[in-house]
Structure 1
Amino acid sequence: MTWKWEYAFGAEEAARTAPAAFLSEVRSKAAELVRAAESLHVHGRAYAGTDPKGGDVIVPGGMFTYQVVVRSERVYVVQITYMGF
Structure 2
Amino acid sequence: MLVVSPNAGKVLTHIRTSAFRLPLDICKPIIMVGAGSGIAPFRAFVQERAGLAAEGFTVGPILLFFGCRSTSEDFLYADEWENCKR
Q: TM-score, normalised on structure 1?
A: 0.31
Larger radius of gyration: 2
Q: TM-score, normalised on structure 2?
A: 0.30
Higher strand proportion: 1
